[in-house]
Structure 1
Amino acid sequence: MIHPYTDHADAWYRLAERKAAQYFASLEALVRDRTYAAALTKDFQSWQTNHIHRSWLSLLLRGKNKPDSRDFNKYIRWLNYAGKLDDYLDRSVSYMYMRDLGQALDSPGTLSRIQRMVADVKSRLICSAATAKGNQAEDLSLAGLYRWARKEGVESATIWVINKLRNVSAHIPEEMNAEHAMRKLIKIIVGVVLHVVEEMGDEAPPAERARRLDEAIRLGYSYGLSYPFIDDLLDSGVLTDREKERYTRLIRTALLTGSVPELGEWSGANLSMVRFVHTELRDAFEYIKNYQRPEAQQPFFEQSYVFFHSQDTDRNKKLSDATYTNEELYVPIIIKSSSSRLIVRSVISAASDEGFDTRTFYYGIYNQLADDLADMFDDSKSGAVTPYTYYFKYHRLRPDLINPYELYWAVISYLIHHVYRSDAKSREVILDRAINGLQRFKKRIGADTYNEVMNVFATGNPEFHRLVHSMVQRAEDVDFFDKLLRDQLIEVLRNDRKEKEHFRETLDTVRQQINDQLSIHKPDGIPPMQESLIDAANYSLEGGGKRLRPILTWVMGVQEYGLGAAAIVPLLKSLEYMHTASLIFDDLPSQDNASTRRGRPTVHQVHNSATAELTGLFLIQKAIEEQSSLRSFDAATVLELIQYSSRRAADMCVGQAMDLDSKGKRLTLEQLNTICFYKTGIAFEAALVMPAILARIGAEEIEALKKFAYHAGIAFQIKDDLLDVEGDLLVLGKPTGQDAENNNSNFVTVLGPEGARKEMWEHYCLAVELLQTMPRNTAFLKHLVTYIVNREC
């Protein structure tokens, strides 16, 4: 069945093309007669009063003690101390209202909302900067995000989008820039949320606000997914030319028919990635379509098609083709830069707003030209056609070409005087942004290269460009909060990727070292029954396992406390012997009655219950034997460790007894937490505290480790309970539904799956927040607890 949108597609694009061509003609006239320069020269004369400081004292103090903006919290504290934070946030939020929300700054209502947001952001920044550990923005962490979600009542949507983002990140091909792709996706999600907040206003009841924010998060992800998996993927070299053609046809068909076609036969190295992308985009497309009111669907399809077609037109240009006209270079850019933001309004089914549409249409190319200048060298390297790469290559051969840098300033003049009616605040913010963009560009590529670039582009009006050059050199207080967040987010994503890689490498390396040490030796001449017990113990130890507890001990002991790796091998073995013994007991018919463990039959299935019980006792004694052989440490310290270990082993027995006694009973959350800590949290605590005892770490730090282990252990158990309901037998290596079969009360039965997930993330946050109090590198612990809540087995 052909959808009626197919018949209208060409008309939609022709209409957008005519409008963009008219706008370009107006801009071209400004460039040809250079009237923009005279207008902007007057604007700069007013503007520079707030940004060019001529006194000898200001010159002496310029930049003095100003921290690098990469140290986020120190930079925010400095802005506040220097009395610059209010203006910094005011221009930043004002710019966001202009660019993202399409608002005019001469509206009293808009100005009032800007001031409220500035006050709210300032309060959060000052509070977090005063207490934060490290140089990163606290709100960019998973814990910071979940804390916001809990405050707004949108925990479920936030957990959903966290999992979605993790899966997207895992499927971004190596050839693409993963950090920038994820940054753009997250930016779109935030942008859609901001649009919905603006649409709601301040009077929405809490329940209504939570419902609409929940939808906004899901809509933002659904729309934003097109950036990494359509724009970036098609711009990259991941797909072959044939695959690009086929993939483009699939996207176009979806927009024209209202339905995503089946993927069909697809082969080659990209098959797995393409299947994931197709499934995610199809689900996202259906979510947006089902959310919208019927009358809002046509604007969505219209703007989406126009956006995609303009991008496709632009993408298919070849830098080797010297014949493109100015209209062919600029009209698609005007279309795509405006329609990308207009889509957001249709995605959320916002009411028609002619003022928003008009301002957004004229504003888009301002950002696009700024971005294209900043990316000029990368674009040139990849062979992409942008106004800057094309002009740079052909300006000597083609005197008819419009200089994109001249056009950029013409756009700025047009916005200030025609779109925003010479409003003083609009002028301030637009010029702030323009000069800041040039300063950042110059800093990134270096002064010499910057001057070479300007020798090509800044030639049309020497007097005006000398003025701009002076502003770029001398202007202060033109930086923006969104750029700070952008840089921070990229740095967070980059560091997170590196830390994850190190975390996984450490897990694999140390796990292998531990596995190599675990097997219990059988001395010659031992009784057959002892040999049988050792065989049963080794069978259980050889079953694999995550080895999280001894790995944790190794990391803290060796990397953080400086203990010798060889010296603590007995401790690592003892921890895994104790843990394996507890699993053998758990699996017994008298307890959890499990038939498989780690993908293999349990010990009592292979032998019998009596042998399993004796094997568990045997492993406990071996654990004590190993601990007593820690000869590199003084006897008093080893004795203290053994005493601690014995007490904690006894506590774990109490926890198992409480668990068994709870069968068939409806437990409270408090009771569940207690049982969970005794069963699971204590094992994590021991893995952290025992190396701390050997290293003679202070009591205060040990107490913090215990609190961290409490919350990490509960999070681990909640995830286990969720996996028992939702997990995959083949991945888990043990049957699912065991708790229901044994009539066990757990976090899922008490709270339900959604409630259990929220409780798990609450303990995740508490565990991560405790890491902020520790005087050590806690990256491994952070990734451990992140791994705990995201694992699939």
Structure 2
Amino acid sequence: MNEKISAHANAWYQQAEQKAAQYFASLHVQLMENRYVSTLTKDFHLWKKKHIHYDSLLSFLSSGKRKADALDYHRYIGWLNQTGKLDDYLDRSVSYMYMRDLGKDLNSPGIQNRVQHLASDIKKHLLRPTTSKEGVQPEFISLAGLYRWAQKEGVENAVIWLINKLKNVSAHIPQQMNAEHAQRKLIKIIIGVVLHVMEEMDDAALPAERSQRLDEGIRLGYFYGLTYPFIDDLLDSEVLNAKEKEQYSDMIRNALLTGSVPDLGEWDVVNLEFVRYVHAELREAFEYIKSYQKPEAINTFFEQSYVFFHAQDMDRVKELSNPQYSNEELYLPVILKSSSSRLIVRSVISASEDEGFDRRTFFYGIYNQLADDFADMFDDMKAGAVTPYTYFLKYRDQRSDLINPYELYWTVISYLIHDVYHSDAKAREVILDRAINGLKRCKKRLGKQKYNEIMDIFASGNPELNRLIQRMVRYADDVDFFDKLLRDQMVTVLRNNREEKEYFWDTVKNIRQQINQQLLISKNHSVSSINESLIDAANYSLEGDGKRLRPIITWVMGVNEYKLHASAIMPLLRSLEYMHTASLIFDDLPSQDNAPTRRGRPTLHQVHNSATAELTGLYLIQKAIEEQSSLRGFDPTAVLDLIQYSSQKAGEMCIGQSMDLQSRGKALTLEQMNTICFYKTGIAFEASLVMPAILAQVKVSEIASLKKYAYHAGIAFQIKDDVLDWEGEAGLLGKPVRKDVENNNSTFVTILGLEGARRAMWGHYCLAMEALNEMPRSNGFLVHLLDYMVNREN
């Protein structure tokens, strides 16, 4: 890096540091003179009128008024609505978002109308019947909810792109990093950028312009958000050693100062594949963001980004064992990184200049950073990280000059309320709500004893103010925030999804193994040599590397959901796989698909001949009926109903194959394609769900929901097959690719195009999820099965 570029970098940082130093000096004076104490005392006395309630004992004991636990998302929203608190809850939550994320003055013209409008929209979503059902993921967090929003805004392609990007991030994060934390932070940044884009748009923007801007905002949000898990978190983790961290930091710094991401170069690292992935993603991100910048604003983007990174890097290299850091060394990087991280967002989206935003954001950042550092101080202490809190904990008895970060936090609050927001009542309300909420959450997380010990350390300098604050922590109500609820819910959902996904694959593996052990057709002494060859042919087809999805689904529904005995339904599992394998044998015949391979091996007619393949298929169908008729321990009527249903579905599958053959070489409509797809593949999914339900004699309404789920899941599965056939590899798929295209046959991709097919797949995904939500029981397995169908690579 040449001296001229280094000089520019130093000038950028020194200029920002001077501004931070002036702000810090102003805070320091107020802190030393204790000006904030009397000011905040008055603020709290005004504030508490709305938050300290003296309800009667009868009202307190009333079950209708008893507060629901915020960890129970659906009950908590219901409680807020029932008690009439939901409107205020959403108003302060959205107001806080406008202050923190969008840098708005709540007293400025039009802002309150926008706050109320957004709060009203959120309320409508929260109280919709499909989003208030217990056991169902909140619409704000679910993929189905995200895609429905995308359809409404016309940004389906961007959201599909984002879903795939997030899936890859999740798959690549090493064990040394907190995957849920990284994903949550990335999603939060994306939402923040999109909100900025929406706020920047004129209300009169045409739908096409709005869609384009949101599309760009989603991509910009993802690319900017990558800097948190793949720069900040990565450098804080133990994935890289000290030498590699230095090499990685130099690469980031070089990119910001030269405007070009250097090649990766030589890396001697255990997680080399991960580093290559990160480098490729960050290079793509850097080029996309850079290309989006206006020529006159590109230098501002690089300057702000460098200040942010350098401030982070200065904090990162500090060592807790060093007792010599000055207050300025501790706090100036905090001011710079916390403010510049938000200032960058407006630069990223090329927003128009807004001096008021810059000023408010610069002063506001340290408030959030000090609150975050307070919440994380024990984790930071354990990791040996230097923050104002960890440093004060370690050296408070040795360094009388050290500023108490907790006291500075309240000084910042006073400064914001009176110097930045000019004593505005709404600003005071929201800021103090947030501060008390943070202490309440901390007390709940640490426990009363540990919390009091912390307060004895940090709050002993101003006992009267602290007594007032702790009284607010104990008794003040209505200080919860929606973003905190979503944060907790998102972490829970991400963690549960990971655990449920692991359980899903463990279940699939274990049941698949059980099925494989009992699937092959045995030979007895009375079997003739001709029959032996037929059984051998059948077993050859059954031995292939099949997914066994249909019998696995039936096992889960029968055993886990309907509490049927696993051994009792084994004949049903065998029958499903026999029927499915028979259909594949027929599909592969020269008279139909003429496929050379199936399940990674030559097809049956290639190994033997077409006549043997046809007879084997018929033989497997008869074996399936034999297995179904051998079901014992169930209501005989239910078994007869099951056999009748199975026969009907087998006939419909034949109709589907006939329709498929007649359509070869013809251009089909989407409706015709959906019909053929359902008859050929959707019916098999339906049968695997409905047949155990018939045995369990569940309600007709539940069977109807299962059929609806199967219909849309089956089509989604087939669309994914067509997409993979278009862009996949034969080695991964276990069968030839582009056969339909070569034969001029219609597929979802030829009818809709690649992007259109993906959009249709996600549309059916949403409809299948909505069918699951209609069911009387939540079924995590079917949720993850659907996720597998649309996200699989083979």
Q: TM class, shorter-chain normalised?
A: over 0.9
- TM normalised by structure 1 equals 0.97
Secondary structure of the residue that 1:184 maps to in structure 2?
Answer: helix
Cα deviation, residue 523, structure 1? 2.8
Q: Within 2, Cα distance between the matches of 1:729 and 1:647?
A: 34
Contact 2:545 2:600 in 1 (8 A): no
Q: Within 2, Cα distance between the matches of 1:772 and 1:433?
A: 34
Q: Which amino acid aligns with 2:10?
A: D
Partner in structure 1 of residue 46 of structure 2: 46
Q: Within 2, Cα distance between the matches of 1:481 and 1:576?
A: 48
Contact 2:705 2:771 in 1 (8 A): yes
Secondary structure of the residue that 1:734 maps to in structure 2?
Answer: coil
Partner in structure 2 of residue 31 of structure 1: 31
- Specify every segment of 5 or more residues in structure 1 that has no aligned partner in the other structure, as ranges: none
Partner in structure 1 of residue 79 of structure 2: 78
Of 463-472 and 623-632, the range deviating more from structure 2:
623-632
Show structure 1 runs of 4+ deviating over 6 A: 1-4
Q: Within 1, Cα distance between the matches of 2:450 and 2:59?
A: 26
Q: Within 1, Cα distance between the matches of 2:370 and 2:335?
A: 10
- Specify every segment of 5 or more residues in structure 2 that has no aligned partner in the other structure, as ranges: none
Pair 1:696 & 2:701 matched: no
Deviation digits for residues 134-193 of structure 1, max 9, x if unmatched?
A: 264222111111111111111111111111111111111112221111110000000000
Pair 1:747 & 2:748 matched: yes
Cα deviation, residue 4, structure 1? 7.5
Q: Within 2, Cα distance between the matches of 1:267 and 1:179?
A: 27
Deviation digits for residues 388-432 of structure 1, max 9, x if unmatched?
A: 111011100110100000100111111111111111111111111
Per the alignment, do residues 438 and 135 of structure 1 end up closer, same or farther by CA in structure 2, a change over 3 Å counting? farther
Q: Which amino acid aligns with 1:752?
A: G
Partner in structure 2 of residue 713 of structure 1: 714
Per the alignment, do residues 58 and 472 of structure 1 end up closer, same or farther by CA in structure 2, a change over 3 Å counting? farther
How well do the aligned residues superpose, as a CA RMSD in angstroms? Answer: 1.7
Secondary structure of the residue that 1:221 maps to in structure 2?
Answer: helix
Deviation digits for residues 604-651 of structure 1, max 9, x if unmatched?
A: 122222222122112212212222222333544333222211111111
Secondary structure of the residue that 1:140 maps to in structure 2?
Answer: coil
Q: Within 2, Cα distance between the matches of 1:129 and 1:693?
A: 26
Of 146-155 and 72-81, the range deviating more from structure 2:
72-81
Pair 1:628 & 2:629 matched: yes
Deviation digits for residues 458-502 of structure 1, max 9, x if unmatched?
A: 022222212111111121111111111111111111111111111
Secondary structure of the residue that 1:108 maps to in structure 2?
Answer: coil
Q: Within 1, Cα distance between the matches of 2:618 and 2:556?
A: 28
Deviation digits for residues 541-586 of structure 1, max 9, x if unmatched?
A: 1111111000000001111111111111111111111111111111
Q: Which amino acid aligns with 2:534?
A: L
Secondary structure of the residue that 1:704 maps to in structure 2?
Answer: helix
Partner in structure 2 of residue 14 of structure 1: 14
Q: Which amino acid aligns with 2:52?
A: I
Contact 2:575 2:623 in 1 (8 A): yes
1:49-60 map, 5 Å:
49-54=49-54, 56=56, 60=60
Q: Within 2, Cα distance between the matches of 1:258 and 1:724?
A: 39
Contact 2:550 2:685 in 1 (8 A): yes
Partner in structure 1 of residue 145 of structure 2: 144
Contact 2:197 2:217 in 1 (8 A): yes
Of 241-250 and 384-393, the range deviating more from structure 2:
241-250
Pair 1:555 & 2:595 matched: no
Q: Which amino acid aligns with 1:399?
A: S
Cα deviation, residue 266, structure 1? 2.5
Secondary structure of the residue that 1:186 maps to in structure 2?
Answer: helix
Pair 1:217 & 2:221 matched: no
Per the alignment, do residues 783 and 738 of structure 1 end up closer, same or farther by CA in structure 2, a change over 3 Å counting? same
Secondary structure of the residue that 1:421 maps to in structure 2?
Answer: coil
Q: Within 1, Cα distance between the matches of 2:200 and 2:402?
A: 42
Contact 2:140 2:146 in 1 (8 A): yes
Q: Within 2, Cα distance between the matches of 1:3 and 1:634?
A: 86
Secondary structure of the residue that 1:203 maps to in structure 2?
Answer: coil
Secondary structure of the residue that 2:127 maps to in structure 1?
Answer: helix
Q: Which amino acid aligns with 1:586?
A: D
Per the alignment, do residues 145 and 401 of structure 1 end up closer, same or farther by CA in structure 2, a change over 3 Å counting? same
Partner in structure 2 of residue 375 of structure 1: 376
Per the alignment, do residues 502 and 396 of structure 1 end up closer, same or farther by CA in structure 2, a change over 3 Å counting? same
Q: Within 2, Cα distance between the matches of 1:543 and 1:289?
A: 50
- TM normalised by structure 2 equals 0.97
Cα deviation, residue 508, structure 1? 0.8
Q: Within 2, Cα distance between the matches of 1:3 and 1:698?
A: 77
Partner in structure 1 of residue 542 of structure 2: 541
Secondary structure of the residue that 1:22 maps to in structure 2?
Answer: helix
Contact 1:73 1:136 in 2 (8 A): no
1:213-362 map, 5 Å:
213-362=214-363
1:499-648 map, 5 Å:
499-524=500-525, 526-648=527-649
Partner in structure 2 of residue 431 of structure 1: 432
Partner in structure 1 of residue 68 of structure 2: 67
Secondary structure of the residue that 2:53 maps to in structure 1?
Answer: coil
Secondary structure of the residue that 2:238 maps to in structure 1?
Answer: coil
Contact 2:60 2:66 in 1 (8 A): no
Secondary structure of the residue that 2:204 maps to in structure 1?
Answer: coil
Cα deviation, residue 529, structure 1? 2.9
Per the alignment, do residues 3 and 72 of structure 1 end up closer, same or farther by CA in structure 2, a change over 3 Å counting? farther
Q: Within 1, Cα distance between the matches of 2:614 and 2:56?
A: 84
Per the alignment, do residues 634 and 106 of structure 1 end up closer, same or farther by CA in structure 2, a change over 3 Å counting? closer
Deviation digits for residues 47-102 of structure 1, max 9, x if unmatched?
A: 11111224646984699421111222221222122121111111111111110001
Q: Within 2, Cα distance between the matches of 1:721 and 1:129?
A: 31
Contact 1:338 1:362 in 2 (8 A): yes
Deviation digits for residues 85-139 of structure 1, max 9, x if unmatched?
A: 1111111111111100011111022122112112211222222577524264222
Quote the sequence identity (%): 69
Q: Within 1, Cα distance between the matches of 2:700 and 2:431?
A: 55
Deviation digits for residues 647-703 of structure 1, max 9, x if unmatched?
A: 111110000000111112111111111111100110001111111122222222112
Of 248-257 and 357-366, the range deviating more from structure 2:
248-257
Partner in structure 2 of residue 486 of structure 1: 487
Cα deviation, residue 209, structure 1? 0.6
Contact 2:240 2:269 in 1 (8 A): no
Q: Which amino acid aligns with 1:725?
A: W
Contact 1:3 1:257 in 2 (8 A): no
Q: Within 2, Cα distance between the matches of 1:132 and 1:417?
A: 43
Per the alignment, do residues 741 and 23 of structure 1 end up closer, same or farther by CA in structure 2, a change over 3 Å counting? same
Q: Which amino acid aligns with 1:332?
A: P
Contact 1:560 1:777 in 2 (8 A): no
Cα deviation, residue 296, structure 1? 2.2
Partner in structure 1 of residue 477 of structure 2: 476
Cα deviation, residue 524, structure 1? 3.7
Deviation digits for residues 276-328 of structure 1, max 9, x if unmatched?
A: 11111111111111222222221111111111111011011111111111011
Pair 1:420 & 2:421 matched: yes
Q: Within 2, Cα distance between the matches of 1:131 and 1:34?
A: 48
Cα deviation, residue 202, structure 1? 1.6
Partner in structure 1 of residue 497 of structure 2: 496
Q: Which amino acid aligns with 2:13?
A: Y
Per the alignment, do residues 635 and 88 of structure 1 end up closer, same or farther by CA in structure 2, a change over 3 Å counting? closer
Q: Within 2, Cα distance between the matches of 1:187 and 1:354?
A: 25
Of 622-631 and 734-743, the range deviating more from structure 2:
622-631
Partner in structure 1 of residue 180 of structure 2: 179
Partner in structure 2 of residue 91 of structure 1: 92
Cα deviation, residue 3, structure 1? 11
Pair 1:785 & 2:783 matched: no
Q: Within 2, Cα distance between the matches of 1:674 and 1:138?
A: 30
Contact 1:641 1:694 in 2 (8 A): yes
Per the alignment, do residues 128 and 98 of structure 1 end up closer, same or farther by CA in structure 2, a change over 3 Å counting? farther
Q: Which amino acid aligns with 2:498?
A: R
Deviation digits for residues 440-463 of structure 1, max 9, x if unmatched?
A: 111110111111001010022222
Q: Within 2, Cα distance between the matches of 1:168 and 1:3?
A: 36
Q: Within 2, Cα distance between the matches of 1:57 and 1:701?
A: 44
Contact 2:126 2:132 in 1 (8 A): no
Q: Within 1, Cα distance between the matches of 2:585 and 2:268?
A: 46
Q: Which amino acid aligns with 2:536?
A: D
Q: Which amino acid aligns with 1:351?
A: S
